[in-house]
């Protein structure tokens, strides 16, 4: 009964988060994902869940990246006096959390991709394609340099590099997917995500205040080239708030959404099936095969018009990301998360963000990219499409919105591939 109640809590508490964001505007500004992490951390810190014995924790520590042990292993530990019977429940809860956040994340990704009209956005991206390409280059170069600077400072720096390449190219969903691909433990993921949100908040403030004036003094001025005729409904579809869950339970929307969910289940099943074909000697790559297969199939499904036209699939995917965020955060304890190595972690994250931005500026100046296209492209890559209109408003130039969203959409699609590839390359060094 306790396990059933726990699962129901994780599945439906995001509805409470959505409701309080709708009720209090100051919480809405924080966003549902931030609140999901906050509630999860609170649960993990205040002692709601039973704690394992020292023997159980030691056995788990010997298997980094795993959230739970096999029951037979715990029973052996108990028989040897190295664990206690309560550890069975602790392990079961950990196993449920691990399974739940993995399922939520894998099912979310196809849903996040279904609504993307990639063909149209690739067409619109031509106007700022050079700036998009330079942003990709800047991210790869600076994250790679950061890896070599800090590779001996904390363990598995290659994993961090892959995750930050993924989030710089794509966004938070890519960051979460790469957690699974690279088998990053919950504590580390939450720390990374927390610092990412803090640094990101400063950058948003910078982008909408003084950045337009600074970059316009450094780069060529934007020149209208006849404008781009674009589909306003398409722009609205991609930029509507990540937290706009209104109308999802209406009958005319919920039935198609359930069909989309069914398609997502099929895609995840195929991706999981392909991962089982990976030979035993390549076991570390199983998650990468699963996630990249699911991403690819999600992109292909988005090109099927009846699937692409289903409303609110992106928001449905974000609801599953809320379940993931709440669950994975509840696996961490604030009292044990932070240590003396955190300063280096902050420096690495700051290097990835600000270093990539600086190199992007230098490349933009060399290739004569105008200030507005540079800033809107940087916005799309560092953040995500919904932030594009906000920065375009600060620029007082809505003509660059399409370029920005196109770059952001392409980033969503490429994030998992770029992050995984870079991580696996750097693992060899």
State pLDDT tens for residues 343-389. Answer: 788 888 889 888 999 999 999 999 998 888 889 888 888 777 767 87
The predicted pLDDT at position 293 comes to 93
Please spell the DSSP secondary structure of 101-159, one letter per residue: HHHHHHHHHHHHHHT--HHHHHHHHGGGHHHHHHHHHHHHHHHHHHHHHHTTTSTTHHH
So where are the chain's domains?
Answer: 105-221+231-426
The predicted pLDDT at position 188 comes to 79
Nearest CA to 328 out of 156, 200, 191 is that of 191
The predicted pLDDT at position 64 comes to 63
Question: Residues 313, 20: contact at Cβ < 8 Å?
Answer: no
Does pTM top 0.95 for this prediction?
A: no
What's the rounded Cα separation, in Å, for the pair 362 and 301? 38
What's the rounded Cα separation, in Å, for the pair 81 and 94? 21
Question: Residues 51, 65: contact at Cβ < 8 Å?
Answer: no
Please spell the DSSP secondary structure of 208-226, one letter per residue: HTTHHHHHHHHSPPP---S
The predicted pLDDT at position 65 comes to 61
State pLDDT tens for residues 130-161. Answer: 888 898 899 999 999 999 999 988 888 999 99
What's the rounded Cα separation, in Å, for the pair 374 and 79? 63
Q: CB within 8 A of 324, min separation 6: which ones?
A: 101, 104, 105, 108, 176
H helix runs in 240-304, sequence order = 251-275, 286-302
Helix (H, G, I), strand (E, B) or coil at 62: coil
What's the rounded Cα separation, in Å, for the pair 331 and 91? 12
Q: How many C-beta atoms surround the C-beta of residue 137 within 10 A? A: 14
Question: Residues 138, 146: contact at Cβ < 8 Å?
Answer: no
What's the rounded Cα separation, in Å, for the pair 313 and 257? 6
The predicted pLDDT at position 243 comes to 63
The predicted pLDDT at position 238 comes to 59
- CA 374 from centre of chain: 23
Helix (H, G, I), strand (E, B) or coil at 371: helix
The predicted pLDDT at position 142 comes to 94
The predicted pLDDT at position 346 comes to 81
Q: Per-residue confidence of the chain (429 residues) as pLDDT tens digits? A: 888 999 999 999 999 998 988 888 777 777 788 888 889 888 888 878 888 888 888 887 777 666 778 888 888 888 888 888 888 888 898 889 889 989 998 999 899 888 877 777 777 666 577 888 898 899 999 999 999 999 988 888 999 999 989 888 887 788 888 988 988 877 778 878 877 777 777 888 888 888 889 999 999 888 765 445 555 666 666 555 556 777 787 888 899 999 999 999 999 999 999 998 888 877 778 888 999 999 999 999 999 999 988 988 988 998 998 999 899 888 877 776 666 567 788 888 889 888 999 999 999 999 998 888 889 888 888 777 767 877 888 888 877 777 787 788 888 888 999 999 999 999 988
Q: How many C-beta atoms surround the C-beta of residue 15 within 10 A? A: 12
Q: What are phi and psi of 82, to 5 degrees?
A: -95, -10
Q: Which of left, alpha, beta for 342 (phi over 0: left; psi -120 to 50: alpha)?
A: alpha
For residue 73, give both structure tokens.
């292993």
């Amino acid at each position: 009964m306790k396990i059933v109640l726990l699962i129901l809590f994780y599945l439906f508490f995001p509805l409470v988060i959505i409701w309080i964001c709708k009720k209090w505007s100051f919480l809405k500004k924080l966003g549902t994902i931030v609140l999901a992490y906050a509630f999860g951390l609170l649960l993990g810190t205040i002692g709601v869940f039973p704690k394992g014995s020292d023997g159980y924790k030691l056995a788990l520590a010997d298997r980094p990246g795993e959230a739970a042990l096999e029951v037979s292993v715990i029973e052996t530990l108990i028989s040897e006096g190295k664990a206690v019977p309560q550890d069975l429940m602790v392990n079961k809860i950990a196993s449920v959390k691990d399974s739940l956040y993995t399922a939520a994340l894998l099912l979310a990704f196809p849903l996040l991709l279904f609504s993307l009209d990639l063909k149209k956005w690739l067409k619109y991206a031509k106007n700022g394609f050079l700036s998009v390409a330079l942003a990709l280059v800047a991210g790869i170069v600076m994250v790679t340099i950061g890896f070599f600077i800090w590779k001996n400072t904390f363990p598995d720096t290659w994993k961090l590099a892959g995750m930050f390449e993924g989030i710089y190219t794509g966004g938070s969903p890519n960051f979460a997917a790469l957690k699974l691909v690279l088998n990053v433990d919950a504590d580390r993921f939450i720390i990374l995500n927390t610092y990412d949100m803090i640094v990101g908040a400063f950058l948003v403030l910078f982008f909408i205040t003084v950045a337009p004036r600074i970059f316009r003094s450094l780069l060529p001025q934007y020149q209208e080239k006849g404008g781009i005729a674009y589909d306003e409904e398409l722009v609205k579809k991609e930029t509507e708030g990540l937290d706009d869950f209104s109308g999802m339970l209406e009958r005319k929307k919920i039935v198609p959404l359930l069909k989309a969910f069914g398609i997502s289940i099929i895609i995840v099943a195929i991706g999981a099936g392909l991962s089982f074909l990976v030979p035993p000697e390549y076991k570390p790559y199983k998650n990468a095969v699963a996630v990249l297969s699911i991403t690819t199939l999600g992109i292909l499904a988005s090109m099927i018009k009846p699937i692409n036209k289903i409303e609110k699939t992106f928001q449905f995917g974000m609801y599953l990301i809320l379940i993931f965020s709440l669950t994975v955060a509840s696996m961490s304890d604030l009292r044990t998360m932070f240590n003396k190595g955190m300063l280096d972690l902050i420096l690495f994250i700051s290097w990835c963000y600000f270093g990539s931005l600086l190199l992007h500026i230098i490349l933009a100046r060399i290739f004569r990219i105008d200030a507005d296209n540079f800033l809107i492209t940087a916005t799309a890559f560092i953040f995500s499409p919904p932030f594009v209109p906000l920065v375009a408003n600060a620029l007082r130039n809505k003509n660059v919105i399409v370029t920005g969203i196109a770059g952001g959409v392409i980033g969503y699609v490429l994030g998992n591939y770029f992050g995984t590839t870079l991580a696996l390359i750097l693992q060899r060094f």
